Amino acid sequence: MKIVKAQKKIAHLKGEVSRLKERAKRCVRTQKGNDFTEKFEDLKNIIESKLNELIDLKVKVMRANIESGVFKKVIILGELKSTIELYRALEVESGTYRQEFGAGEVSYVSQMTVKQKNDSIEDLQKKIEKLTEELDDFNAITEI
């Protein structure tokens, strides 16, 4: 199986496990006198089986990434995405603003302009796109 197909299977299994866990939470108890909607033990066994399948796939993908040296790119990609989140959260607007609660105004200065913030995000996004393309190519051709 190619990594790209394994990733789709991983996403599917994650969703399936999540739904099964919700069912398990709902069925574990009922009002006295009512029948249980499902057997918790049965769901527990299905969840365990699906988790084992999910773990096996994740390990195979990780092993292929490590053995090929691609794993470093995966880590870099995650850190770049995290850095973009930081930049997006920065409040860099300067100026004087009327306070929402209370009287008066407050003035702010920033170490970065809105343009610098946007340019930094754009540069990071270009790096992310390049790495994503490289990883997509790798995932499309690599067997696990």
Which pLDDT value is given to residue 9?
A: 98
- Mean of the pLDDT values across residues 82-91? 97
95 forms beta bridges with 108
Is 103 a residue whose pLDDT tops 80? no
The tokens of 113 are what? 């302009």
pLDDT category of residue 100 using cuts at 50, 70 and 90: confident
Please tell me the pTM assigned to this model. Answer: 0.76
Q: Are 27 and 40 within 8 A, CB to CB?
A: yes
47-69 per-position pLDDT tens digit: 999 999 999 999 999 999 999 99
A 10 A CB-CB count for 65 gives 21
Torsion sign over Cα 43, 48, 49, 50? positive
Share of the chain above pLDDT 70, in %: 100
108-133 per-position pLDDT tens digit: 899 999 999 999 999 999 999 999 99
C-alpha angle 75-78-82 in degrees, rounded to nearest 5: 140
Q: What is the SS3 assignment for 21?
A: helix
Q: What span, in angstroms and rounded, lies between the C-alpha atoms of 83 and 79?
A: 6
Domain boundaries, the chain: 1-68, 71-144
Give the distance, in angstroms, between the CA of residue 65 and the centroid of all CA atoms in the same chain: 18
